[in-house]
Amino acid sequence: MNTEINEHKIFKVSRRDFLKTTSMSMSGLLLGLQFSCTDKEKNLTGNPSAVFSPNVYININGNGDVFLIAHRSEMGTGIRTSLPLVMADELEADWSRVKVVQAVGDEKYGDQNTDGSYSLRMFYTPLRKAGATVRLMLEQAAAKEWNVDVSECKAQNHEVVHTSGKAFGFGYLAEKAAALPVPEESMIALKDAKDFKYITKQSSIVDLKDIVTGKAKFGLDSKLPNTKIAVIKRNPEAGAGLKSFAMEAAMKIPGVIKVFSMDAPGFPTNFNKPLGGVVVVAENTWAALKGREALEVEWLPGINADYNSLEYGNDMLKRAKTKGKVRRSSGNIDQALRKAKKIVEADYVVPHLAHAPMETPCALAHFHDNTCEVWAPVQDPQGTRKSLAAALNIDITAVTVNVTLLGGAFGRKSKPDFVVEAALISKEINAPVKIMWTREDDIQHGFYHFPSAQHVKVGIDENNNVSAWLHRSVFPSIGGTADPAAKEPSGGELSLGMIDLPYAIENISCETQQAKTKIRIGWLRSVSNIQHAFAVGCTLDEVAQARGVDPVQNILDMLGADRMIDASVLGPEFENYGEKLEDFPWNTGRLRNVIETVREKSNWGKSLPKGSGQGIAVHRSFLTYVACVVEVSVDENSKIKIIKVDYAVDCGVPVNPERITSQFEGGAAFAASLALKSEITVVKSAVQQSNFHNYQVARMADAPYETAVHIIDSAEKPTGVGEPPVPPFIPALCNAIFAATGKRVRKLPINLKEEVNL
């Protein structure tokens, strides 16, 4: 696998990685702190010169203010709040006295790649231990001051209280705790869940006030003195080069400073190389854009000059109906299908999709004196830092990546190509540069969700039970963006909704075909769960109809007895989102529970007027179990209204319920866009869509009128919530449309006026 993809590999962070910095070694001190003494009677504050920085995440000053480092990127998930909240709870800090500080990109923080819905999964326990360690050190410092046993001292709401009622503030204890050694892990006791003050409670995000009052700083808000604005005219074909350009007209535009070419990377490319093209640098955005319009450019064709997404999709669909490479197998699929009394068979098509975040890619870079500092809305600051060092040929220690708030991302801003563009241009003109991607740039030159074609064939035996499941999935691998050898989906991509099928079926075959990558593709929110959940969820509804049973009961029947699915059943290519199955088991009982919960909460089977219907779909993704019921109405003009969405969610410990609810509400709207509106088409390697008039997303009338999120109370390890809302929504919507109209949907985006049978 290429190095670019390896940079995003999930890995574990030990507690010791968090606790290396002690008061004896100030190399981990993150903040220059000033102190003051204000309340000597209660001993709340301490020595102004004291420093208590026991790890790279927590700092306490003599005032008692607690500074917690947010090392992941905030793009609406609330992770900039949730991770510090976990530390504050174990620390017994008063949340009103906590200041959240955004980390720069640096390996000392552990994994900072905010992708794959694993921030809380990865850091929940380590950060709890980090907070609990500091709490114990404060208690030890107080015990030493009072000359009592530490068992008589307990941290409570920013103080350490003795059993006698005496108390020391965190500020007073900061210097004294800094003189103590970091306790061994065996000494650390985490809170009982019943004692949580913040974890599992409703909490607003720390940036809420700044966001609603317009004070929040996003990537587009970054500026330095003498900042220049740059835009790039790019070859419509990803990676292809430049033959010639004329810049005379552009240079006549008032405000245009410089026009020059940037080399194209060729294809395959990777996630950190700019696409190249002709760069226009100006004093302001308007001049830069007018200068770009005035350019006369002749492009060179590349190896994918003939790429046509419609022809490509038709070819994939044709091959999906033929025998492919077996990626999971049990029983004898051919024999079981021959013996079946009934056959359910369908094909499913999903187009290219774009991320289309509200804030397009942008970055401010300042290269000077062989150093580079950037301010950018990036999901992977460490990966960005490495990419900048390589592109600029400087040491990584000379690169600083400041992470702003992200105005949406969905996976696009985990690729640092746009930041590298800004840095290279800054180096070229010897001034700070802000790179601007217009909406047209974003839609026509992104990293797209791969197109796919699927064929599903299900056999039902003489006892009316499902006896055979054949699933063929054809789509280009994300790996093909950088590696020409990646011609079939990886096991990891197939573990997102295909080979991880949980149903108790004796005969199963999952197969793939080769599909060469022809355009830049990358992970988009939920990745291949999107198309796999669509095909599986809709097929299950057709199976219910063929069996003559209620769709909810059909899913429960097929799920079988509650069990932990063994890895040997799923096959050697199965990947569990980077986790061992023994740590995060595939528990069908948890899936059953969300199904039964959503059946009750949605009032499944209720009487509905003509033209209305309910649909259900279920899916486990990013280790989270979700069941979704969608209620729709469809009028005589085929206008679809999404009346209500009910989600039941088991994501383990619900660390921040307010954010879980928000993510599922937003996820429903995002999925509605994919289902109803969004489609990227490519003709002769050029993306045909350019803005929201022809790459449409859900507007208010398209989005669900009501979304209810029912969170399962759980003590299991927390799992992801950013991506799991999307996969089950689309098939639940399609199944609801069938219930309302009798029409099956097998192609996205939904068009009820088209022929539905592929």
Residue with tokens 């005969």: 507
SS percent in the chain: helix, strand, coil, step 5: 30, 20, 45
CATH class (in words) of the domain with range 3-212: alpha beta
Per-residue pLDDT of 59-75, as tens digits, reads 999 989 999 999 999 99
Please say whether the beta carbons of 478 and 116 come within 8 A.
no
Interval 343-366 mean pLDDT: 98
The fraction of the chain above a pLDDT of 70, given in percent, is 93
pTM score above 0.85 = yes
Interval 590-604 mean pLDDT: 98
pLDDT of 50 strictly over 70 = no
If you write DSSP's letter for every residue of 431-494 in order, what string do you get? S-EEEE--HHHHHHSS-BBPPEEEEEEEEE-TTS-EEEEEEEEE---GGGGT-TT--S--HHHH
Residue with tokens 């307990």: 154
Partners of 436 in the beta sheet?
362
Cis peptide preceding 54, ω within 30 of 0: no
Cis peptide preceding 301, ω within 30 of 0: no
pLDDT of 711 strictly over 50 = yes
What local confidence, expressed as pLDDT, does residue 261 receive? 98
* Distance, CA of 508 to chain centre: 30
Residue of 233, 205, 329, 363 lying closest to 289 (CA atoms) = 233
Q: Where does residue 643 rank: exposed (0-12), middle (13-18), buried (19+ CB within 10 A)?
A: middle
- Secondary structure (3-state) at 412: helix
Please say whether the beta carbons of 498 and 510 come within 8 A.
yes
Please say whether the beta carbons of 526 and 723 come within 8 A.
yes
pLDDT of 13 strictly over 90 = no
Please say whether the beta carbons of 583 and 122 come within 8 A.
no
C-alpha to C-alpha distances, 118 to 175, 430, 660, 724, nearest whole angstrom: 35, 39, 14, 11
Please say whether the beta carbons of 502 and 559 come within 8 A.
yes
Per-residue pLDDT of 241-287, as tens digits, reads 999 999 999 999 999 999 999 999 999 999 999 999 999 999 999 99
What local confidence, expressed as pLDDT, does residue 419 receive? 98
Interval 421-425 mean pLDDT: 98
What local confidence, expressed as pLDDT, does residue 53 receive? 73
Rg (CA), the chain: 28
What local confidence, expressed as pLDDT, does residue 54 receive? 81
Task: For the chain, give every residue range classified as CATH 3.30.365.10.
Answer: 3-212, 220-303+361-436, 321-354+447-741
Q: How confident is the model at residue 211 (pLDDT cuts 50, 70, 90)?
A: very high
Helices (H), 637-746: 657-676, 726-741
CATH label, 321-354+447-741, candidates 3.30.365.10, 3.40.50.150, 3.40.50.410, 3.55.40.20: 3.30.365.10
Per-residue pLDDT of 222-243, as tens digits, reads 999 999 999 999 999 999 999 9
What local confidence, expressed as pLDDT, does residue 51 receive? 56
Q: Which two tokens stand for residue 16?
A: 């010791």
pLDDT of 170 strictly over 50 = yes
Residue of 406, 398, 397 lying closest to 375 (CA atoms) = 406
What local confidence, expressed as pLDDT, does residue 754 receive? 74
Interval 519-530 mean pLDDT: 97
What local confidence, expressed as pLDDT, does residue 36 receive? 30
CA–CA gap between residue 492 and residue 479 (Å, rounded): 11
Please say whether the beta carbons of 272 and 387 come within 8 A.
yes
What local confidence, expressed as pLDDT, does residue 202 receive? 86
pLDDT of 24 strictly over 80 = no
What local confidence, expressed as pLDDT, does residue 52 receive? 74
Report DSSP state, residue 339: H
CA–CA gap between residue 377 and residue 371 (Å, rounded): 20
Q: How confident is the model at residue 753 (pLDDT cuts 50, 70, 90)?
A: confident
Per-residue pLDDT of 655-708, as tens digits, reads 999 999 999 999 999 999 999 999 999 999 999 999 999 999 999 999 999 999
Q: Which two tokens stand for residue 667?
A: 């996820």
Residue of 623, 580, 578 lying closest to 723 (CA atoms) = 623
Per-residue pLDDT of 307-337, as tens digits, reads 999 999 999 999 999 999 999 999 999 999 9
Interval 465-484 mean pLDDT: 97
What local confidence, expressed as pLDDT, does residue 42 receive? 58
- Secondary structure (3-state) at 310: helix
The overall average pLDDT reported for the chain is: 93
Per-residue pLDDT of 605-661, as tens digits, reads 999 999 999 999 999 999 999 999 999 999 999 999 999 999 999 999 999 999 999
Contacts of residue 582, defined as CB under 8 A and 6 or more positions apart, other chains included, come to none
Residue of 386, 370, 394 lying closest to 419 (CA atoms) = 386
Report DSSP state, residue 248: H
C-alpha to C-alpha distances, 256 to 263, 286, 431, 470, nearest whole angstrom: 21, 10, 14, 59
Strands 433-436 and 362-368: antiparallel
What local confidence, expressed as pLDDT, does residue 298 receive? 98
CATH class (in words) of the domain with range 220-303+361-436: alpha beta
What local confidence, expressed as pLDDT, does residue 18 receive? 40
Interval 389-398 mean pLDDT: 98
What local confidence, expressed as pLDDT, does residue 46 receive? 59
